[in-house]
Amino acid sequence: MLRTHRFITVLYFLLIPFSVFSQSAPSFRIVPLGVLGGIDESNLSAYMIAATGTNNYVCMDAGTLHYGIQQTVDNKVFSIPTEQVLRQYIKGYCISHAHLDHIAGLIINSPDDTAKNIYGLASTLQTIKTHYFTWDSWANFADDGEAPALKKYHYQILTPDSIIPIKNTGMTVQAFPLSHSNLTSTAFLVNSNDVYILYLGDTGADDIEKSHNLHKLWQAVAPLVKSKKLKAIMIETSFPDEQPDKTLFGHLTPHWLMAEMDDLAALTGTDALKGFNVIITHLKPPQTSIYKIKLQLFNENKLNLNLIYPQQGEAIDL
Ligand SMILES: [Zn+2]
Ligand SMILES: [Zn+2]
pLDDT attached to residue 7: 52
Ligand 2 mean position, distance from CA 180 (Å): 7
Ligand 2 mean position, distance from CA 68 (Å): 20
Whether pLDDT at 11 is above 60 = no
Instruction: Determine the average pLDDT of the residues in 122-139.
Output: 98
Q: For 59-80, how does the pLDDT look when each residue is reduced to its tens digit (9 = 90+)?
A: 999 999 999 999 999 999 999 9
DSSP-based three-state secondary structure for 130: helix
Closest residue by Cα to residue 273 from 290, 283, 260, 282: 260
Strand duo 306-308 + 316-317: pairing: unpaired
Instruction: Determine the average pLDDT of the residues in 235-256.
Output: 98
List CB contacts of 29: < 8 A, sequence separation 6 or more.
49, 50, 51, 52, 315, 316, 317
Query: Which ligand has the shortest distance to the CA of 44?
Result: 1
pLDDT attached to residue 23: 57
How much is the pTM? 0.92
Whether pLDDT at 12 is above 70 = no
Q: For 148-173, how does the pLDDT look when each residue is reduced to its tens digit (9 = 90+)?
A: 999 999 999 999 989 999 999 999 99
Q: In what helix (H) or strand (E) does residue 3 lie, and over which residues does it extend?
A: helix 2-22
Ligand 2 mean position, distance from CA 17 (Å): 45
- HSE-CB for 136 with a 13 A CA cutoff: 6
Query: Which ligand has the shortest distance to the CA of 62?
Result: 1
Ligand 1 mean position, distance from CA 318 (Å): 24
Whether pLDDT at 22 is above 60 = no
